Structure 1
Amino acid sequence: MFDILMYLFENFIHSDMEVVVNHDELTDELTRAGFHRQEILKALAWLERLADLQDSQAIPYTHQSQHKSIRVFTAEEAARLDCESRGFIMYLENLGVLDFATREMVIDRVMELDTQQFTLDDLKWVILMVLFNVPGHEDAYDQMEGLLFEEPEGLLH
């Protein structure tokens, strides 16, 4: 399913190509690209849920306080998001790339992925997809895109 999301993001959403909105046409396109129908339907449902999360009624935590807080991860979240991934989420919050609502959207979308292996690089792509789909977060998207695509120069430490 994650491969389909990456394919869609790279080939339709993140490119200058016109986005196909008809589910049947999109399903046919993905089938021609070699993906299985069941996985395609899961990926499209994942994207629909992401769109639903933009509605403040769908995410009640957007009405909660936006003050700095500590996020305690559930056992299931900690199993999916290793220490490095959880640290990266906190890092992005400190940079202002993620806010309270987008952090929760990212965690929600990560937990809905149907995948056995989940890496920090996968998390970065999920964050990019979330920020791309949330109006008013264009600057955060640009920052995240820079973090994802820029190669560090020289020694990091």
Structure 2
Amino acid sequence: MFEVLVYVYENYWRGDACPELHQLERKLSAHGFEPDEIHDALVWLDGLNSAAENILVPADSETDWTPQPSDASMRVYSIAEQDHLGAPCLGFISFLEGSGVLPPALREIVVDRAMATAGDPVSLDQLKIIVLMVYWRFSIEPDALVLDELCDDSEGRLAH
């Protein structure tokens, strides 16, 4: 499924540029993806569209999402979320939030879409694709450093 999502991200730079799901299904099939992968990806994308329709629209076109939780609020993950996401993914979500590039409304969509994937726990690479797809759906182009963090393979990095 994630290969299909990457293909969609790379070929339709914005969520609103993506064709309707039934037309996308034909294009993906013509490209050679397996029917099961296409089905899983389309169900996932439909869930992303539904989640996007259920959040409030941003106050401006940047990152001022309303309503914002107070500074004293904290996101508490359920046991099921902790088990499915795992420590690396939860840490990465926290990193993105702390960096100011993942507003609470988008975080909730990321968590929702991560919970809709198979596999326990979700891998960090899969979570990065999910974050990219959420940005994509809202036509948010992450800045170069965030994009580098989302697209770079961190296994080859050495800590200084």
What TM-score, normalized by structure 2, do the two folds share?
0.74
- 1:147 is matched with which residue? 149
Q: Which residue of 2 aligns with 1:96?
A: 100
CA contact (8 A) 2:12 2:18 kept: no
Q: 2:39 aligns with which of 28, 37, 41?
A: 41
- Letter matched to residue 50 of structure 2: D
Structure 1 equivalent of residue 70 of structure 2: 67
- Matched to 2:24, the amino acid is L
Question: Residue 84 of structure 2 aligns to which amino acid in structure 1?
Answer: R
Alignment equivalent of 2:122, drawn from 111, 118, 130: 118
**Mapped partners of 1:82, 1:48: distance in 2:** 25
Maintained 8 Å contact 1:124/1:148 = yes
Compare 89-98 and 113-122 and name the one that shifted more: 113-122
Q: Alignment partner of 1:81: what SS? A: helix
Instruction: Map Cα deviations across residues 108-157 of structure 1 (whole Å, 9 max, x no partner).
Output: 0101123456211111111111012225x44xx225313224578x8533
Q: Find the counterpart in structure 2 of residue 6 from structure 1.
A: 6
Higher relative contact order (CA 8 A, sep 6+): 2
Residue 127 (structure 1) aligned to one of 112, 131, 154: 131
One-letter amino acid of the structure 2 residue matched with residue 31 of structure 1: S
Aligned to 1:76: 80
- Which residue, 48, 51, 54 being the options, matches 2:49? 51
Query: Residues of 1 paired with 2:108 and 2:149: CA distance?
Result: 20
Task: Letter of the 1:28 partner, please give it.
Answer: R
The answer (yes or no) to whether the contact 1:2–1:113 under 8 Å persists in 2 is no
Name structure 1 gaps, 5 residues minimum. none
How far has the Cα of 1:91 moved from its partner? 0.9
Residue 110 of structure 1 contacts residue 126 of structure 1 at CA under 8 Å; is this kept in 2?
Answer: yes
Give the AA of the match of 2:95.
Y
Sequence identity of aligned pairs in percent? 34
